[in-house]
Amino acid sequence: MPGSSLYPLLDRVTTPKDLRALPESALPTVAEELRTFLINTVSQKGGHFAAGLGTVELTVALHYVFETPEDRLVWDVGHQAYPHKVLTGRGDQLATIKQKDGLAPFPTRTESPYDTFGVGHSSTSVSAALGMALADRLQGGHRAHVAIIGDGAMTAGLAFEALNHAGSLDANLLVVLNDNDMSISENVGALSNYFARVLAGRLYQGIREGGKRVLRRIPAAWEFARRSEEHLKGMVLPGTMFEEMGLNYIGPVDGHDVIGLVRTLKLIKQAKGPQFLHVVTKKGKGYAPAEADPIKWHGPGPFDAAKGEIRKELPSGPTYTQVFGQWLCDEADRDPAIVAVTPAMREGSGLVEYSKRFPSRYYDVGIAEQHAVTLAAGMACEGLKPVVAIYSSFLQRGYDQLIHDVALQNLPVTFAIDRAGLVGGDGATHQGMFDLSYLRCIPNLTVMVPADENECRQMLHTAVQLGTPTAVRYPRGTGPGAEIVQQLSNLSVGQGLVVREGGSGLAILAIGTMVALLAPIAEELDATLVNLRFAKPLDRDLIVYTAERHRRIVTAEENVLQGGVGAAILEVLSDAGLSRPVLRLGIPDQFIEHGSRNDNLVAAGLDSATMRARIHAFHRFQSPSA
C-alpha cells in the first residue's frame, strides 16, 4: 500500500510478519485503520463488503497469533476475507478486485501463499483444514490449522460432517465460528470472555486431560464426570452440541475485542486436539449503513462512502431474475399448489416480493442445496408444485439429489436456474457453464433455455404444467429487450423455432443468449438462424431437416463444449447418417476467471467479434467458390 497519513500503522504492514512485530497495544489502531481502508477502497469499485467489516479484528488477531503462512488459515466462502487480503500484501491491489487481471473475489491458491485453499462455495473450510491437519501429522509436522467458518455456512451438512469427523480424531485443528447473526449477543461480555479464557487456559486443559486419563479406568466415575462437565458448560455456554461431537468448545467471545481475541487465541494455540472457538461479530461493523442493512451491503457496487448511497446504473429493462420473480408471483396467485424453495438465495434469485406475498409457501433452507432439492421432491410427492430457485453453480452441489430423488422418481419439480452461463466478477467458482452438460444426460428431465425475457416467462409457466422434472436456465442480467406478454401459454415441448430462413447454405443452430448475439451475423451472411429453445429434448426433426437443406452448420451455446448442445447435435446428425462440416461455438475446456461479463465472453471466444470472425472464416473455407 502506498504511504498515506490515513493509515500510518497499516502502511507498515506488508506481510503478517510486520503485523507480528507490532506491540499488542497497537492492534486496535491497526484494526481501526484497516476498517477505514476497506470502506474507502471498496466504495470505489464495489465488492463484498459487510462481511469483511465484521471480521477485521478477528483477522488481525489470527495473523498476529499464528505464524502464517506456515500455520494454515482456511477461510470459508471468502466474503469475509478482504481484510485477510490486505494484511497479506495485497492492499494496494484491492481496488482491482473482481476485475480482469485484478485480485480474485475469493481466496485463491494461485494468488498468494497465504490463501491455503481456494473457496467460493460455502462450508468447505472445516473439511479442508482437517485434511491439511491430518497430512501435517502424517508428515511429522507441527503446524496449526484454523478453519474460519461463517454462521451461514454452518447451515450446510458438509460442515457438520467435517466437525463430526474432526471430533473423533486428535488432529491439531481449530474451528473458529464467526457468528455474525447476533443470535446470542447477550452472552457476549465480561462473564463469557472470562469463561472463554478459563476454558482455553492451561490449568483447565491440564485438569481436564489428566482427569480423563484417570477416570477412564473407572467407567462409572468417567461417565459421571463427563456428564457433569457437559451439564456445567450447558448451563452457561451454548457449546454442548460441539462437545458431544468431540471438540473442546470455547466462547462465545467478543469478535471486536482484538486484544481479548489475541489472548484467547494464544491460549488455544497451546491446546492439543480439535478446538472450537465461538466468536460473535457484527456484520458491517463500523459503517452505520452496513450495520443497519447488512443484506443490502453484502456486495454493493461502487458507493458514496460519506453519504452511504450505492451508485446503481439503471438497467435497460427487467433482468431475467426479475422476470422470474414476477412470473412466480403471478403463477402462485393462480395456483395454490405452487411453493418456492431456495438455498439462501432470496435476494439473488428474485424471491423478495414472493416471500412477502406468500410467506406460508416460501422456504429458505439456508446454505443447504442438497436438502433444498430433496425437500422439493418430498413436497412433489404430496401434490405440490415446488419451484427451486437456485444458481447454476450451486445446483452442482445438489446433483445426486437431482438425479436420485427427483428425476429417478419422475417428480414434478421445477428448477429455476439463475446465473447460467458466464457471470462476470464472481469468477471461476460461480460460472454457470456446466449445467447444460450435466443436465441433458439425466432421464425424465426437460431442459429449456430462453433466448429472451418473454420466452423465459412462457417457459417457466410451461415447466410447472408438465408434471415432470423440468429446468429453465437463464443468465444473469438483462436480455435483448423483448416485449413481455402477460398472458401465459404452454410451449410445445422439444420444438425449436426458425428465426430466419437464409439462402447461403449456412445454418446457425443457437440456444439461449447466443440467439440474439448471432442474429446480426446471420443477417450479414444470409444464414438460417434456429432458436433451439430446448436442450432436452432436442428438436431432432428440425435439426435433421435443417442439416439436409444446408451445407454447413454452426452450433452456439453459452456452456462448455464437452457434452453440451453442440455435442448433442453431432449425435443427432450421426444417428441420422448425415455428414456436414460443423463449427461448434461454446466455452472451451478451461475455467473462466473473473472480470466483466464482456471480459468473460472474450475469454471464452463468445463475444460478437470473435464469433463473427470464426463464422466468416468457416463459411468462406467451406464455400464451393472458395
Query: Is there a shared CATH topology between the 10-181+189-292 domain and the 320-473 domain?
Result: yes
The helix (run of H) or strand (run of E) holding residue 346 is: none
Residue identified by cell 478446538 is 275
- Residue 216: the pLDDT is 60
- Residue 296: the pLDDT is 87
- The rounded distance, in Å, linking the Cα atoms of 54 and 582 is 53
Kindly tell me if the per-residue pLDDT of 151 is higher than 50. Answer: yes
pLDDT digits over 577-608, tens only?
A: 999 999 999 999 999 999 999 999 999 999 99
Instruction: For residue 260, give every residue at least 6 positions away whose Cβ sits within 8 Å of its Cβ, in sequence order, or none.
Output: 193, 253, 254
- The rounded distance, in Å, linking the Cα atoms of 411 and 147 is 38
- Residue 252: the pLDDT is 87
Domain range annotation of the chain: 10-181+189-292, 320-473, 497-622
- Rounded to 5 degrees, φ, ψ at 385 are -120, 80
pLDDT digits over 33-87, tens only?
A: 999 999 999 988 888 888 899 999 999 999 999 999 999 999 997 788 999 999 9
Q: Is 369 in the active site?
A: yes
pLDDT digits over 390-407, tens only?
A: 999 999 999 999 999 999
pLDDT digits over 183-236, tens only?
A: 333 334 554 465 556 556 554 555 455 555 555 666 665 555 555 555 545 544
Kindly tell me if the per-residue pLDDT of 261 is higher than 80. Answer: yes
Active-site entry in 72, 385, 397, 476:
397
* Low-confidence winner among 84-98, 218-232, 479-493, 525-539 (lowest mean pLDDT): 218-232
Angstrom CA distances, 352 to 306, 334, 346, 611, stand at: 28, 19, 6, 38
The pLDDT confidence band at residue 154, using thresholds 50, 70 and 90, is confident
The helix (run of H) or strand (run of E) holding residue 218 is: none
Active-site entry in 33, 369, 455, 593:
369
The helix (run of H) or strand (run of E) holding residue 129 is: helix 125-138
Comparing CA positions, the residue from 357, 419, 350, 440 lying closest to residue 387 is: 350
Answer whether 0.85 is exceeded by the pTM.
yes
pLDDT digits over 330-365, tens only?
A: 999 999 999 999 998 999 999 999 999 999 999 999
Q: How many residues does the chain have?
A: 626
Greatest mean pLDDT among 74-78, 179-183, 459-463: 459-463
Determine the average pLDDT of the residues in 160-166. Answer: 92
- Residue 300: the pLDDT is 86
Angstrom CA distances, 609 to 496, 524, 601, 616, 621, stand at: 26, 13, 10, 11, 18
Angstrom CA distances, 488 to 389, 454, 544, stand at: 20, 10, 30
| DSSP-based three-state secondary structure for 364 | strand
Kindly tell me if the per-residue pLDDT of 575 is higher than 90. Answer: yes
Question: Of 151 and 450, which is predicted with more confidence?
Answer: 450
DSSP for residue 128: H
Strand partners, 450: none
Cβ-based neighbour number of residue 51 at 10 Å: 26
- Residue 233: the pLDDT is 52
- Residue 334: the pLDDT is 96
SS3 per-residue string spanning 223-290:
HHHHHHHHHHHHHHCCCHHHHHCCCEEEEEEECCCHHHHHHHHHHHHCCCCCEEEEEECCCCCCCHHH
Q: Is 283 in the active site?
A: yes
Cβ-based neighbour number of residue 173 at 10 Å: 27
The pLDDT confidence band at residue 622, using thresholds 50, 70 and 90, is low
- Rounded to 5 degrees, φ, ψ at 56 are -60, -55
Max CA pair span of the chain: 95
537 upstream amide cis, omega within 30 of 0: yes
Active-site entry in 85, 143, 282, 283:
283
Kindly tell me if the per-residue pLDDT of 544 is higher than 90. Answer: yes
- Residue 155: the pLDDT is 82
Own/partner long-range contacts of 486-492 (Cβ < 8 Å, ≥24 apart): 486/330, 488/330, 488/331, 488/457, 488/458, 488/461, 489/458, 489/461, 490/458, 490/461, 490/462, 490/465, 491/448, 491/458, 491/459, 491/462, 491/533
Measured at the alpha carbon of residue 415, what is the angle toward residues 454 and 314, in degrees to the nearest 5?
45
Q: Is the dihedral of CA 401, 406, 412, 415 positive or negative?
A: positive
Residue 59 in grid coordinates: 483477522
Residue 611 in grid coordinates: 464469433
Residue identified by cell 467478543 is 254
Kindly tell me if the per-residue pLDDT of 626 is higher than 80. Answer: no
- Residue 223: the pLDDT is 59
Arithmetic mean of pLDDT over the chain: 90
Kindly tell me if the per-residue pLDDT of 175 is higher than 90. Answer: yes
- The rounded distance, in Å, linking the Cα atoms of 538 and 544 is 11
The pLDDT confidence band at residue 13, using thresholds 50, 70 and 90, is very high
Architecture of domain 10-181+189-292: 3-Layer(aba) Sandwich (3.40)
Comparing CA positions, the residue from 71, 57, 279, 73 lying closest to residue 176 is: 279
- The superfamily (CATH) of domain 320-473 is Thiamin diphosphate (ThDP)-binding fold, Pyr/PP domains (3.40.50.970)
The pLDDT confidence band at residue 529, using thresholds 50, 70 and 90, is very high
497-622 under CATH 3.40.30.10, yes or no: no
- Residue 196: the pLDDT is 59
Comparing CA positions, the residue from 75, 221, 208 lying closest to residue 148 is: 75
Determine the average pLDDT of the residues in 149-176. Answer: 88
Per the CB < 8 A criterion, the answer to whether 59 and 78 are in contact is: no
